A = this chain, B = another copy of it.
């Protein structure tokens, strides 16, 4: 199923988002997740850029041609934001997808019309210390376009709640 976002970034808030919830105990090293896809329109690229990254190669096809990108390209932060949305739509750990940070790389730009999807893998799980209700997991998210090319890789540490004792 494709997510549909309006170019002004408003969204139908009644759409059901998360279908799955995870506790820390449900995550293990080597686990894989695959999100739905989202096709990025030229309007979306320009709207995001106008707000957050107003550089010529994110705003104007003509001006973009003479730049390093050689054509209109999405802001890397736009690709990161789309990634987040795809992950949230997939289903979130109970307590939320709370990122502490991580390493991000953009090996190539997102282009108008690109259909993106995220593949995640759990790399490490760090159990909660005693008397706390949350552990951390290290997750690698690879975001690929329709040609199977990686447009972003983010390896980040998330805080995840453990299952309450009373359950």
B-contacting residues of A (Cβ < 8 Å)? 5, 8-11, 13, 17, 47-48, 50-57, 59, 67-69, 75-77, 80-82, 84-85, 88, 92, 95-106, 134, 153, 159
Task: Write out the residue numbers on chain B whose beta carbons fall within 8 Å of the beta carbon of A95.
Answer: 67-68
Judged by DSSP, the binding face of A is: mixed
Q: Which residues of B lie under 8 Å from residue A96 when comparing CB positions?
A: 55-57, 67-68
Contacting pair B54 A11 (CB below 8 A): yes
- In the complex the two chains form, is B52's CB within 8 Å of A81's CB? yes
Cβ distance A17 to chain B, nearest Cβ, rounded Å: 6
Residues of B within 8 A of A85 (CB): 51-54
The answer to whether A48 touches B134 (Cβ under 8 A) is: no
With contact pairs A68-B96, A98-B68, A106-B100 given, residues A88 and B8 touching in the complex (Cβ less than 8 Å): no
Give the CA-CA distance A47 to B11 in the complex, in Å.
Answer: 9
